[in-house]
Structure 1
Amino acid sequence: MAKVQLDQVRKVYPNGFVAVAGASFEVADGELLVLVGPSGCGKSTLLRMIAGLESISSGTLKIGERVVNEVAPKDRDIAMVFQSYALYPHMTVAENLAFGLKLRGHDKSAIATRVAEAAKTLELDALLDRKPAALSGGQRQRVALGRALVRQPQAFLLDEPLSNLDAKLRMSMRVEIARLHRQLGATMVYVTHDQIEAMTLGQRIVVLDKGEIQQIDTPMALYEKPANLFVATFLGSPAMNVLQGRLSAEDGLAVQLEDGSRVPLDGAKPPQAWIGRDIAVGVRPEHLRPAQHGEAGAFEAEVEVVEPVGSEVFVNLRLGRQPLIARFEPNVLPERGKPMSIAVAGERLHFFDAESGAAL
């Protein structure tokens, strides 16, 4: 395995559209790094540049210690797993697994050994004589992974490999990929638009938006210390609540919303220089809680929708024109259409520049 290094890698199309604007980061040897962001953010373009399927407009890309900007995809010693599986329908599982090795001229005994090892690792032993049409979605995805695995490349590139699977299969395949990474100690770059996949799989995450890197860090560091409003609201399910208004210290610290509503921020420690100025206050759904009767620092919001999901309850609230979503214990089932007293965990709040979105 090998590290992958990007230094100011850009992709600009002939019409002037900047798909990737100066990406710089390093994927350590044996690391599983996730590229995440909404559709059109440049994550798949970035992966395709690493693979050699897209040309690099400027910057330097290294795999191992070799600059590969002008190296053909087949000579980069990488293996790619595509969203569409890309299996040959007329070939059996064994033939699909072996095909890449045959093209590279490996002898039959070496091919048979590698195919058997990959099949055992991915529990495909009983499926080797089947063709893709006779496989489930999860089995096809394992074959696609196995075809990359037999190559024993310097790096694995995975482009939204689970997006065609149902929710249950996605969960089991996430576990499978994480287990495979631990077992192989492989260098992996994984692209997804699903922030749950990113948080559960990535040792580090690169968050992209509109072709630009917003932040690079470990999953929990991104969740607890987002660099800006985009990262704060993109990671987390349900998304972070954002209160836009003026920070006030009159009658206790609070944020005064545009419609005149007031949310007390007892226990919060915002930058003192921002008192009296427009600010964005971020609060995670789990940091809103039902207030005790007569509790200081509570406010009332109307209950709009209650979503019990078994282990927890999501409560959609409205304070004036401000929507809020809270995550409560399963024993809390407020009545729809009625006011509810809510308290904020002030010490867990996030503060952002209302104009630029940068964390304060």
Structure 2
Amino acid sequence: MANVTLDRLRKVYPNGFVGVDDATFEIGDGELLVLVGPSGCGKSTLLRMIAGLEAITSGELRIGERRVNDVAPKDRDIAMVFQSYALYPHMTVAENLGFGLTLRGTDKAEVARRVRESAAMLELEPLLDRKPAALSGGQRQRVALGRALVRKPQVFLLDEPLSNLDAKLRASTRVEIARLHRQLGTTMVYVTHDQVEAMTLGQRIVVLDKGRIQQIDTPMALYNRPANLFVATFLGSPRMNLLQGEVAARGEGLELRVGDGVALPLHPEGGLAATVRGYLGRRLTVGLRPEDLHLTSAAADFSGRVETVEPVGNEAFLNLDCGGSELIVRLSPRHLPQVGQTVHLGHDPAHLHYFDPESGRRLDG
């Protein structure tokens, strides 16, 4: 096991495109860290730089205490699991599992022992004599994981390993990867574009966009205190509601005038109150998670017209038109309003998120 340190890592392609810009962070020894972001954000490029499959333009990369910028991939003591399973079709499961060790000249008895050990861990023992064509997608993915496990590397790198699986298999394999990490205690770097995978797997998450790190923190810290509008809307399903309007006085307090007679009461506290008051007469963006809105028959903060109702079993989502702004409300599926109905909404002022609409940054007191 080892920690991985990235110090101002940068990747610039020959055409001038910047794939990764100034990536600086440390992956702790035994940590499961997730790199997440939309397609083209630089997460796979960053992973390939750690693996040695992409040349580093500038900056320094260390695995443990060793600088590895110019170290060949085979000498970095890492194992990588790709999106494609990359199994040899003419080899059995046992042969695929042990192939990397055999190439390194490992003793046959040791290869057999490690293959049995990995197969038992991943419940592959009944499949050892089969070839990949006789396996399901989930079984092939477990073989790809097992092939990395047998090497006992310092660092595991996983590049969207579940994207080829159906929803049920993704969920079960995700649990399997989390269990393996707890059991092995090995440093893992996991790349995904799926924010649910990121939130459920990562001990910490690195959120990337356009090659730059937007925020690094634990899953719930990112969810509860996003650093900017990109993080706020990328993490969370459904995404955070955003209301933009002008800040105005409301008695001794403040409100956000969204439009069409809709005004959201604002109740910032402490130092944040002075910060928000500085936006009087100016535009401000306010965020609300769908679960922080509720229907009310009492004096309503504001109202919205029901556009669609989406029951999904244990919960339902209302899509509302609120003064020209779209809102999503997460509700219990019982006693849902009808499409076209006007509903009154309440909110918890303590759960409002305030953002500067120009820079996108979070406002703090």
SS of residue in 2 equivalent to 1:34: strand
Q: Distance in 2 between matches of 1:310 and 1:205?
A: 29
Count of residues in Structure 1 that have an aligned counterpart in Structure 2 = 357
Match of 1:301 in 2: 304
Q: Distance in 2 between matches of 1:206 and 1:102?
A: 35
- Residues 188-227 of structure 1: per-residue CA shift (max 9 Å, x gap): 0000000000000000000000000000000000000110
Equivalent position amino acid for 2:327 in 1: L
Q: Distance in 2 between matches of 1:18 and 1:37?
A: 16
Give the deviation of 1:266 after TM superposition: 5.2
Q: Distance in 1 between matches of 2:86 and 2:324?
A: 48
Q: Distance in 2 between matches of 1:60 and 1:112?
A: 38
Q: Distance in 1 between matches of 2:262 and 2:335?
A: 24
Maintained 8 Å contact 2:256/2:266: no
| Alignment of 1:54 onto 2:54 | yes
Match of 1:256 in 2: 257
Match of 1:328 in 2: 331
| Alignment of 1:283 onto 2:288 | yes
Q: Distance in 1 between matches of 2:235 and 2:102?
A: 42
Q: Distance in 2 between matches of 1:204 and 1:345?
A: 28
SS of residue in 1 equivalent to 2:278: helix
Q: Distance in 2 between matches of 1:276 and 1:344?
A: 23
SS of residue in 2 equivalent to 1:294: coil
Report which stretch shifted further, 241-250 or 15-24. 241-250
Give the deviation of 1:241 after TM superposition: 0.5
Maintained 8 Å contact 2:260/2:324: no
Q: Distance in 2 between matches of 1:318 and 1:80?
A: 46
Q: Distance in 1 between matches of 2:89 and 2:298?
A: 67
What pairs up with 1:103-118 in 2 under 5 angstroms? 103-118=103-118
| Runs of 4+ more than 6 Å apart | none
Give the deviation of 1:268 after TM superposition: 4.2
| Alignment of 1:353 onto 2:356 | yes
Q: Distance in 1 between matches of 2:249 and 2:91?
A: 70
Maintained 8 Å contact 1:267/1:345: no
SS of residue in 2 equivalent to 1:337: coil
| Alignment of 1:314 onto 2:356 | no
- Residues 6-45 of structure 1: per-residue CA shift (max 9 Å, x gap): 0000000011000000100100000000000000000000
Q: Distance in 2 between matches of 1:162 and 1:132?
A: 17
Equivalent position amino acid for 1:14 in 2: P
Q: Distance in 1 between matches of 2:346 and 2:267?
A: 11
| Gap regions ≥5 residues in structure 2 | none
- Residues 127-179 of structure 1: per-residue CA shift (max 9 Å, x gap): 00011111111100000000000000000000000001111100001100000
| Alignment of 1:132 onto 2:158 | no
Match of 1:190 in 2: 190
Q: Distance in 2 between matches of 1:319 and 1:173?
A: 40
Maintained 8 Å contact 1:45/1:54: yes
| Gap regions ≥5 residues in structure 1 | none
SS of residue in 1 equivalent to 2:39: coil
Match of 2:66 in 1: 66
TM-score by structure 1 length? Answer: 0.97
Provide the aligned C-alpha RMSD in A: 1.1
SS of residue in 2 equivalent to 1:276: coil
Q: Distance in 2 between matches of 1:298 and 1:27?
A: 44
SS of residue in 1 equivalent to 2:214: strand
Give the deviation of 1:276 after TM superposition: 2.5
Q: Distance in 2 between matches of 1:309 and 1:261?
A: 32
